[in-house]
Structure 1
Amino acid sequence: MPNPHPPSEGTKPAPAGRPQREFGLHRLRSLSLRRTLLLVLLPGMLLVMGLEIVVSWRTALAAANAAYDRSLLGAIKAMDANISTASGGLSVELPYRMLEFFELTANGRVFYRVASGDGLVEIGNADLPGAPRPLVNGQPQFSDALYYGEPIRLGSYARALAQPLSSGSNSRQVVIQIGETLESRQDFTRQLVTEAVARDLLLLLAGLALLVLAVNWSLRPLQRLRQEVLQRDPQDLTPLDAHHIAQDVQPLVEAINHHVMRYREAMQARRSFIDDASHQLRTPLTTLSTQVSFALREPDAALMKQALVAIKLQVDDTVRQTNQMLALARADTLEWHMEPCDLITLAQAVTRAAWPDARSRHIDLGFEPLGNAPAEVSAHAGLLKEALTNLLHNALHHTPPGSKVTVQAGIERPDLPALSPAQAVLRVIDNGPGMTSAELARAGERFYRGSTQSSGSGLGLAIAKAIVQRHGGDLSLQTTDAASPAPGLTVTLHWPLGKP
């Protein structure tokens, strides 16, 4: 039956085995480190032990063959020493005691064959199988063979004769073969393999015991770290001591300490904001309450209107002060992303938005770009706009009517770039009353107001300073013209290009 809901174009069904594999990996990652190490290392150790058994079996078989082949070669040499061709024929003075002793050593039956190189003259077990490869005089061959369906180990040896045989053969070569059954070899090999397996099992058990001890000992610092964290007071935000922690775990402890420091900074910022808000809003709210009570008691409509106007001004001031405190908190704690920003375009927009306020105060407000090149930088445009708006608001509200305020923006490039880098700049210049040296030293502190400031919260410079510091720069203030009766003030936000 066809599928009534075929898959849409561009989609691929997931492989059938992928969910199971992902589930298995998730289960493995969710286990404890101890179990994970054991699950990973134990199969590896079992595999190594299996390979060790195979290697031990092959080594034991080679050792047994080498030992028994040397014994077999000794029997061949002994038989070769008893071969006689003096009569022109082939004769062997068979050393029966030697064969009996060899049979006892081999722990099985022994077969022999002495023949001419062409096989026309043979003595002993004539039906023994021949050597698998052509014999070379003086070089013995050892091979596995079957003799009447029974596996044997066969040694073959050939040597040259001083003169050819004359009795039915003209060969100048004699071949000696001795075969033995494999009971003794197999018993010896089985014993070696059994001992090797027992040894490997003991090594495996010892390795597992050492592995468990090593894992437990290695994880003890983590257990101590866990106990230290659990026993801490919830208000304790001091960094963890990483000196006695293993090097592999120190990055984790450093990451935890980094997170703790960020959390502590966030808590301090929140506590500072709450303290500042409670301190700064208590007086305006009390004043508002008093003014509302006065307006409610006042029967005269004209006086009531005056009270309402005063209330409106107080509300506007409180709203601005609240917005400034929120902006300051946002500048301290906001997680932001840098983006391309044209400083000249941004400063022009802020200046244009302030023209109505400047005209109402009879202040000449202008804008000057710094240089002719574009001033595109990587920054947070929203916060820079907030900083420049606060600087411009301070300049407009703390200079007398008829003053002049100028906004500058752009990139300042020094005459010697090797000594100092190019800097992004936002600047506000006025010819108002300025500030004294003592006031310049404290400018930028939260809630600090100079002697010429009759109103305001003292947060404008603090907000601008916090924002430019987040960009990697700083706020600087200087007197515009100290010799003038109206010295004025120049406030500059500057930060190196390419820095956050």
Structure 2
Amino acid sequence: MHGLGLRWPSLPTRWHRFSVRRTLLALVLPVMLAAVGIELALTWGTALQAANSAYDRSLLGAIKAIDSNVSTETGGLSVEMPYRLLEFFELTASGQVFFRVSTEDGLVEIGNAGLPLPGQPLKTGVPRFIDAEYFGAPVRVGAWARELDPERPGRRLVIQVAESTNSRNAFSRALLMQAMWRDLLTVSIVAGTLALVIGWALRPLDRLRREVEARADDDLSPVDETEVPADAAPLVRAINHHLARQRELIDGRRRFVDDASHQLRTPLATLATMVGYARRERDPALLTEALTALKGQIDDTVRRTNQMLALARADTAPVAMTPLALDRLADRCARESWPLAREQGIDLGFDHAGGDIIVLGHEGQLREALLNLLHNALRYTPRGGVVTLQVGVDRSHGDTAVIRVVDDGPGIPADERPRAGERFFRGSNVDLPGSGLGLAIVRAIVRRHFGEMEVAAARLDADGLERGTTVTLRLPLRVPTEIPSPLKAG
């Protein structure tokens, strides 16, 4: 229905407390009862039509019988009434019977005077039947006209027979009552069958409920959707999707605990050893040296802890996306990294093609990713080296925003690059201490922003050896709108 642009109206809120069986019956029964009402109205009309057709034939028979006893041989009009036939007709009609024989001009009239005639003139030889009142009682009147003397046309004879409508109304009411009881029985059978069928159709859901209730508290395995009706399968798939997200959250917390224990065990043991050494040292110079080393170890532990927290947030924390100018965010990150670059003796440059590059993202997480990239590049690039942060747009990849950090450090061996971004992975050609979480944080953040991370060599020297590292981040490009105020100032 949604494909046609139509939407079903939603049920009132209080109806959501009802069971499916009760809701369906509450919706279906009024429709069925309305259909029964329409059917009974049609049945009443059909019954009246059938009764009129049957009883009108009796009226016509009485008219023919009277006509066969009309005589004009004496020059006047005489009728020898078939009284036995009229008595029998009264018995079958269950009421009084009236008749009238007259000339069309009304000069000669025999029988019950004043029987109503049809509103339109009678056609010769064509009977007409009407519903009328005679002395305040409802009657059915049959009228028929013929030439009084076929040899001298122009003067017609009119014969009328009327009967009370009590018998035919009773007949119609009997048909209506039969139809009503039949329809009510049908509605009852359909409602009962519907209730049973709904209960039977919902048995898989009840079985699913029992299975879920019987699960262990830590069981987040997918629910089997093959045992439920096709209409309920999307709900089960949504539940499985939710369970998968919960598994990811729990796995993320478990990985964080494992990572924390793995990363902090050695630094904390080292800190404990260094504190013990400092407490035993009596030489002020050696004590100062020990405290300096202790401070460095504490700084490294704090950085590792912050990296693990950043990785946990990148994996599981909800992300509120807003439009932001990626080029201005990159410029700010480059400026924040300049003090470290000067301390390391490294030339840190920023290359921007010009123009605002608007993406949809979380400013805090993207800033964390850029700072991690720059910190890694500055940390592993030797003194006197060059690190360049580039920002632009790549039209060949479906209009994506591109961020590149290029350094001339030791690089990552080609056979190890596919593992770049894994937790705790560090290149085999690196001797400096580190946690191996920097690129893992970057990759997790980029994936949360529906982007991708690529790692390649920075250049190929004349001797055929690869030098340096280029880390490329690609993010979906947003159509430029108003730039958020925090980034307008650059």
Q: Same fold (TM over 0.5)?
A: yes
Q: Which residue pairs with 2:458 in the alignment?
A: 480
- Going from structure 1 to structure 2, the CA distance change for 1:366 and 1:256 (only over 3 Å counts) comes to same
Aligned counterparts of 2:187 and 2:469: Cα–Cα separation in 1: 82
Contact 2:457 / 2:466 at 8 angstroms: preserved in 1? no
Distance 2:450 2:245 in 1: 18
With the length of structure 2 as denominator, give the TM-score of the two structures. Answer: 0.88
User: Match of 1:402, as an amino acid?
Assistant: G
Structure-2 change in CA distance of 1:114 and 1:341 (3 Å): same
Q: SS in structure 1 opposite 2:228?
A: coil
Contact 1:343 1:410 survives alignment (8 Å): no
1:244/1:498 CA distance change after superposition, 3 Å: farther
Distance 1:441 1:103 in 2: 107
Partner of 1:431: 408
Supply the distance in 2 between the matched residues of 1:193 and 1:457 (Cα, whole angstroms).
89
Residue 401 of structure 1 corresponds to 383
Deviation at 1:496, TM superposition (A): 4.9
1:442 to partner: Cα distance: 2.8
Contact 1:411-1:424 at 8 Å conserved across structures: yes
Residues 481 and 180 of structure 1: CA distance in aligned 2, closer, same or farther (over 3 Å)? closer
The reply on whether 1:173 has 2:156 as its aligned counterpart is yes
Partner SS, residue 467 of structure 2? coil
Q: Please say which of residues 27-36 and 123-132 is displaced more in the overlay.
A: 123-132
Partner Cα distance (1:192, 1:492) in 2 = 86
Match of 2:425 in 1: 448
CA contact (8 A) 2:452 2:473 kept: yes
1:92-141 per-residue CA deviation (whole Å, 9 max, x = no partner) reads 23222322332233233221110011111001122433434433333322
User: Which residue, 109, 115, 123 being the options, matches 1:128?
Assistant: 115
- Deviation of 1:177 after TM superposition, in Å, equals 0.7
TM-score, normalization: structure 1? Answer: 0.87
- Name the counterpart of 1:421: 398
Q: Structure 2: which amino acid aligns with 1:152? A: V
CA distance in 2, matches of 1:327, 1:132: 97
**Number of residue pairs aligned between Structure 1 and Structure 2:** 467
CA drift of 1:492 comes to 1.6
Q: Could you tell me whether the CA contact under 8 Å between 2:358 and 2:478 is conserved in 1?
A: no
Q: What is aligned with 1:236?
A: 219
Q: 1:205: Cα distance to partner?
A: 1.9
Aligned counterpart for 1:99 among listed residues 81, 86, 93: 86
- Counterpart Cα distance in 2 of 1:25 and 1:489: 61
Shift of residue 171, structure 1, vs aligned partner: 6.8
Query: Which residue pairs with 1:458 in the alignment?
Result: 436
Partner of residue 185, structure 1: 168
* Residue 278 of structure 2 is aligned to residue 295 of structure 1: yes
> Distance between the aligned counterparts of 2:321 and 2:282, measured in 1?
57
SS in 2 for 1:367: strand
Task: Between 130-139 and 73-82, report the one with greater CA deviation.
Answer: 130-139
User: Do the aligned partners of residues 480 and 27 (structure 1) sit closer, same or farther apart at CA in structure 2, a change above 3 Å counting?
Assistant: closer
> What CA distance in whole angstroms lies between the structure 1 residues aligned with 2:116 and 2:85?
23
Aligned equivalents of 2:212 and 2:267: distance in 1?
Answer: 44
What is the identity, as a one-letter code, of the residue corresponding to 2:419? R
What is the identity, as a one-letter code, of the residue corresponding to 1:454?
L
Tell me how far 1:39 sits from its aligned partner: 2.1
Single out whichever of 454-463 and 97-106 deviates more from structure 2.
97-106
Q: Does residue 490 of structure 1 match 2:470?
A: yes
Following TM superposition, by how much is the alpha carbon of 1:486 offset from its aligned partner in structure 2, in angstroms? 8.9
**Counterpart-to-counterpart distance in 2, 1:363 and 1:215:** 74
Deviations 1:210-239 (A, max 9, x none): 121122122122112212211222222221
Letter in 2 for 1:243: T
1: CA distance, partners of 2:425 / 2:17: 54
Unaligned 5+ residue runs, structure 1?
A: 1-21, 415-419
Q: Structure 2: 5+ residue runs without aligned partners?
A: 1-9, 480-490
CA separation in 2, counterparts of 1:443 and 1:181? 103
The structural deviation recorded for 1:288 is: 1.6
**Letter matched to residue 76 of structure 1:** I
1:364 is matched with which residue?
347
The 10-residue stretch of structure 1 (445-454 or 317-326) with the greater mean CA deviation from structure 2:
445-454
1:2-41 to 2 correspondences below 5 Å: 25-41=12-28
